[in-house]
């Protein structure tokens, strides 16, 4: 996005990427439908960035969700608003959008140089590790948009932290965001790995979200978990564990649950009874067993069982590795930047995208902030170039 703004403004742009092709994480985001942005009103939208909202506001107001939709449309990708308010291209994938975008950038004169890893500076020159050895490059302005540290095999591995820190730039530690957690399952329950838990209400602290979770060998991941991952991560970091509460049948009142659980069980096994009375899946019943080791499930009376079903306590002890997270929290702190996303300490060097110190839930907020900061930093770089011309 920064390259596009710069090229349109008349700059000669070269994009260096350490990977053999462009936009690999963007393509991966397309595997889940490519949630480009969200349709909610701008004030609600901005609250999703928490403490970083003030630093992102101007950029997002300049390139708001409607502008992202118009941008996609101009690239031949009509968008639609899904039932949750999320915005997707009709194609539900990234490849046609990326192809059209790269063609347009090529037409605007943007040059791509692949397999070049930025390693820092040698004086004023940018240094790269390239297939034939080290390369040094002069540039009138530099845009760093090197991503976070999740899914490193797609390109962004967070190795940029070192050269930036060495240059005296403050970088908040990179942490997993929209990530899964370890729950220390017993071997018995770990056999449900890969199975989803659907239509849940998940709560932590004063936050309650509706969504799904996926059982993993180590613990839990998935949309509902990601939505609470920021506070869960921070509490685990501070105190070593956090207890997530899961309601398996959030639309049933305690009375309704208890009434159904009070029906005569006859000769049915507990599992059969729960499956018939509440349509609980084997993984859900497994989870109830998993958390009720202190008192076996079969010993609980209907009222206690009803309470447990809608308040399953799951003790989480660690975040899943950052390499598996959807996004990255932490990054170059906003205090290091002027209002045009230029590093105060290195005039002419701009920073955009996920490598900045913000985080947001899934829902299109991630790409939206990357697009918006890319465009804003691009404008900043144009202004800088014209000032120094």
Ligand X SMILES: Cc1cc2nc3c(=O)[nH]c(=O)nc-3n(C[C@H](O)[C@H](O)[C@H](O)COP(=O)(O)OP(=O)(O)OC[C@H]3O[C@@H](n4cnc5c(N)ncnc54)[C@H](O)[C@@H]3O)c2cc1C
Interface positions with ligand X (CB under 6 A): 16-19, 24-26, 28-29, 32, 34-35, 117-118, 145-147, 150-151, 155-156, 159-160, 326-327, 353-354, 364, 366-367, 370
Largest CA distance in the chain: 86
To ligand X, the closest distance from the beta carbon of 184 in angstroms equals 25
To ligand X, the closest distance from the beta carbon of 266 in angstroms equals 47
Nearest to 215 by CA among 168, 255, 188, 180: 180
To ligand X, the closest distance from the beta carbon of 13 in angstroms equals 15
Bridge partners (DSSP) of residue 215 are 220
What the block records as the tokens of 371 is 């697009």
Nearest to 221 by CA among 182, 186, 185, 175: 182
CA 378 – CA 37 distance, rounded (Å): 20
Query: Considering beta carbons, is residue 77 or 327 the nearer one to ligand X?
Result: 327
To ligand X, the closest distance from the beta carbon of 101 in angstroms equals 12
Helix (H, G, I), strand (E, B) or coil at 5: helix
Query: Considering beta carbons, is residue 77 or 150 the nearer one to ligand X?
Result: 150
Name the residue number minimizing CB distance to ligand X.
Answer: 155
CA 352 – CA 55 distance, rounded (Å): 12
Alpha-carbon dihedral sign for residues 154, 92, 44, 372:
positive
Torsion of CA 205, 206, 212, 214, to 10 degrees: -10
Name the DSSP class of 342. Answer: B
Query: Considering beta carbons, is residue 185 or 334 the nearer one to ligand X?
Result: 334
Bridge partners (DSSP) of residue 126 are 121, 137
Helix (H) or strand (E) holding 307: helix 302-309
To ligand X, the closest distance from the beta carbon of 203 in angstroms equals 24
Query: Considering beta carbons, is residue 2 or 274 the nearer one to ligand X?
Result: 2
CA distances from residue 23 to 1, 4, 27, 202, 387 in whole angstroms, order as listed: 11, 14, 6, 33, 31
To ligand X, the closest distance from the beta carbon of 29 in angstroms equals 3
To ligand X, the closest distance from the beta carbon of 155 in angstroms equals 2
CA 223 – CA 211 distance, rounded (Å): 6
CA 366 – CA 326 distance, rounded (Å): 10
Query: Considering beta carbons, is residue 128 or 189 the nearer one to ligand X?
Result: 128
Query: Considering beta carbons, is residue 28 or 318 the nearer one to ligand X?
Result: 28
Query: Considering beta carbons, is residue 171 or 287 the nearer one to ligand X?
Result: 171
Contact call for residues 241 and 232 (beta carbons, < 8 A): no
Query: Considering beta carbons, is residue 79 or 150 the nearer one to ligand X?
Result: 150
To ligand X, the closest distance from the beta carbon of 174 in angstroms equals 12
Helix (H) or strand (E) holding 119: strand 117-122
């Amino acid at each position: 996005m920064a390259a596009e703004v710069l090229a349109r403004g008349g700059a000669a742009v070269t994009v260096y990427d350490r990977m053999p092709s462009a936009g690999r994480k963007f393509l991966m985001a397309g595997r889940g439908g490519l949630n480009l942005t969200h349709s909610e009103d701008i004030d609600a939208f901005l609250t999703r960035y928490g403490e970083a909202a003030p630093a992102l506001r101007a950029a997002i107001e300049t390139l708001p969700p409607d502008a992202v939709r118009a941008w996609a449309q101009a690239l031949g990708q009509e968008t639609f608003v899904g039932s949750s308010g999320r915005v997707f291209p009709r194609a539900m994938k990234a490849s046609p959008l990326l192809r059209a975008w790269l063609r347009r950038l090529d037409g605007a004169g943007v040059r791509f140089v692949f397999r070049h890893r930025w390693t820092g500076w040698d004086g004023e020159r940018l240094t790269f590790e390239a297939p034939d050895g080290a390369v040094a490059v002069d540039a009138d302005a530099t845009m760093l948009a090197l991503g976070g540290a999740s899914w490193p095999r797609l390109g962004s591995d967070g190795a940029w932290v070192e050269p930036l820190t060495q240059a005296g730039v403050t970088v908040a530690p990179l942490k997993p965001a929209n990530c899964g957690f370890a729950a220390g399952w017993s071997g018995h329950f770990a056999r449900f790995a890969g199975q989803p838990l659907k239509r849940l209400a998940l709560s932590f602290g004063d936050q309650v979200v509706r969504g799904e979770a996926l059982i993993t060998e180590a613990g839990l991941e998935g949309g509902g978990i990601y939505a609470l991952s920021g506070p869960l991560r921070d509490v685990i970091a501070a105190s070593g564990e956090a207890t997530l509460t899961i309601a398996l049948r959030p639309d049933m009142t305690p009375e309704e649950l208890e009434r159904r659980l009070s029906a005569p069980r006859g000769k049915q096994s507990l599992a059969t009874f729960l499956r018939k009375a509440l349509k609980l899946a084997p993984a859900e019943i497994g989870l109830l067993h998993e958390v009720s080791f202190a008192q076996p499930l079969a010993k609980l009376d209907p009222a206690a069982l009803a309470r447990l079903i809608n308040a399953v306590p799951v003790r989480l002890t660690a975040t899943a590795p950052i390499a598996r997270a959807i996004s990255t929290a932490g990054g170059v702190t906003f205090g290091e930047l002027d209002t045009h996303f230029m590093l105060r300490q290195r005039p002419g060097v701009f920073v955009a995208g996920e490598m900045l110190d913000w985080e947001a839930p899934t829902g299109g907020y991630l790409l939206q902030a990357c697009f918006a900061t890319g465009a804003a930093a691009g404008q900043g770089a144009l202004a800088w170039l014209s000032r120094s011309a």
